[in-house]
Structure formats: structure tokens, C-alpha cells
Amino acid sequence: MTTKIPPDQIVIRPPVEAYSVLIAVSGGCSWNKCKFCGTYKGIYGSIQDYAILPLENVLKEIDFYAEKNYHGFPVFLAGGNPTSAPTDYLVKILEYVRLRMKNVQRISSYAKALDILRKSDEELTQLAEAGLDIVYMGLESGSSKILRFMKKGTNAESMIKAGKRILAAGIKLSLYILLGLGGKEFSDLHAKETARVLTEINPTIFRFRTLNILPSTPLWKEWEQGDFELLSPVECIKEERDIIAQLGENVTSQVFNDHVSNYVGIESSNIKEERDVFISYLDSLMNNPRIQSLPRKNLDRM
């Protein structure tokens, strides 16, 4: 039996929010079925149940940080998918952050595509006007086949629709791409379709992560049984290179490799302007004998 973590305890946040004020809004994940994700899964069951925290608790947390003079910092509304909460609830939180905390650099949160699609365009605009600056959304792959196999609970076209609606509302969008999610068998498909979806959306930012399988995930058993083959480091680099190479000319996104799971740290402030340099650098790594023999990282966290 897994000991449950209370929903007001924050389990995860983006690396870019390391120095932000973290305000718990939701606990767990309303979906929590993805094969590759161990964030809210323990070996013996869920480690944190999905919940939306009482509004008064969230407002008290904002008061605490305001009274402790945490002004001038970014604010991250934490939890697996705070955007699953009612829009009026989120608007009250956003407005209260802006009221109580001075010079907030940005307010951000995770978002799930299905949560976004359940909200109207008017609701998304309300969130933007209340002060939500950017959301982080897991695209993972642009291939509906891979997303279905990984039980992501959505498909490529839904991701495109949600991404475009976020941007149209005036909210910045940061998408996560999970290198190796198609395994060896579907690596080419993963690269091609991910590039297609990124081209359709042209997100503000997209970030690469490298697939890391934890024992608590359903994918672990498939890997142990030989039903799923992990990519080598050089194959992960090639997959990233192929995604960048197949982007449309319209894509002006910022690109980051800002996670401990990655084998490269290259970034771009505008991939349209720097694509050739980006690709040339990845090509040089792929041709490096040391990189070709590099062992996989065995991380014990996402």
C-alpha cells in the first residue's frame, strides 16, 4: 500500500521554474494513465490523488508569500493540471496573485490539452487577461499512433487545436517533446509527425526531454519483456536533429534542451534563424566516436 502524498504538497515543477514561488492549486493528475509517466505513480499505486484545492487555502498561500516579501519573482501555479479547475476559480487566483504580489515576472502552470479543449475561447481569454502568461503542455509526440500506444488520452489533432487556441487567447505556449517515445521501431514516425505538429502550432517554445523509464511505470514491464526498445544516446540526438530538420519554414519557436535527461544542451532563441547551426552542431555530435559509444543515463526520476 502506497502512502499518499497530500494534494497540497508539490511533487513536480518545470526546471525553468526552479526559482519561482510555487503555489499549489491542484494535486495529482486527472488522467494519470500515460505509460511512460511515473510522476504520480508508485510501485504499489498512485502516490497522490487528483484534487483541486479549496480556494481559500490557495489564497492563504498567496498571502503567506506576499507577507514574506516574495515580490518580483515568477509564480508557478502547481499541480499536474491546474487548468482542469473551473475558469472562475483560476481567474480569482490569478487576480489575487497580481493584487498581493508586486512586480510578478510571470504566472505559469502546467496544462493538459483536454482541459484546454473543454474551455471556451472566452474562458481562455479571461485567463490571459487575469494574468496567466504561459502554460507548459506535454505534446510528447506528434504521432497519434504513438500517443495512443502510450495512453496519452489525446491525439495529434487535439494537440494542434489546443495549442492554437492557447496562443490565440494571448497565452504563451511551451511544449514538451519526449525523445525516444516511439522506441526504435517508430523513431522515424515520431520525428516526422512531431515536426508536422510543431509546424502547425508554431509554439512560443518547445523543449526536448529524453525518455527515461521508471520501475513504477507500465512501460517498464514492456521494456523488460523486450516489447519496447530504448534509443541509444546518439539515436536520441539523431531524432532531435530529424525533428528540427523537418520543421516548416514558418516555425520561429525558441528551443531548449533544459533537462537532466538530455544528452545535449543546445538552445535557440529563434529556430527559423538558427536551424542550420542547430543541425550542424547535432550532426557533429552524431559523428563523434565518443558520443557514439556513450551509455544511456539511468535516472531514478522523471
Torsion angles phi and psi, residue 218, rounded to 5: -60, -30
**pLDDT score of 3:** 77
Percent of the chain scoring above 70 in pLDDT: 98
With contact defined as beta carbons under 8 Å apart, do 124 and 116 qualify?
Answer: yes
Q: What is the mean pLDDT of residues 217-233?
A: 95
Cell of 11: 511533487
CA distance 280 to 245: 10
Backbone angles phi, psi at 267, to 5 degrees: -145, 170
The CATH number of 1-132 is which of 3.40.50.300, 3.30.70.1060, 3.30.750.210, 3.40.50.150?
Answer: 3.30.750.210
pLDDT of residue 2: 59
Backbone angles phi, psi at 137, to 5 degrees: -125, 135
CA dist list (Å): 269 to 105, 213, 273, 274, 279: 19, 30, 9, 8, 15
Q: State the cell numbers at 201.
A: 502550432
pLDDT value at 299 more than 90:
no
Element (H, E) at 134: strand 134-140
Confidence band, pLDDT 50/70/90 cuts, at residue 34: very high
The CA distance from 287 to 197, in Å, is 28
Under DSSP, the state recorded for 153 is S
Among residues 33, 43, 40, the alpha carbon closest in space to that of 5 is found at 40
Domain ranges of the chain: 1-132, 138-154+173-294
Are 297 and 261 in contact by the 8 Å Cβ rule? The answer is: yes
State the pLDDT at residue 119. Answer: 98
pLDDT class of 302 with cuts at 50, 70, 90? low
pLDDT for residue 45 is more than 90 = no
Residue 39 pLDDT more than 70? Answer: yes
* pLDDT band at residue 46 using 50, 70 and 90 as cut-offs: confident
Unique residue bearing C-alpha cell 496567466:
132
> How confident is the model at residue 9, as a pLDDT?
93
DSSP bridge partners of 145 = none
> What's the CA gap between 272 and 25, in Å, rounded?
36
Q: What's the pLDDT score for residue 297?
A: 86
Asked whether the predicted pLDDT for residue 216 surpasses 80, the reply is yes
Provide, rounded to the nearest whole percent, the portion of the chain with pLDDT above 90: 93
**Distance (Å, whole) CA 46 – CA 284:** 42
pLDDT at 210 over 80: yes
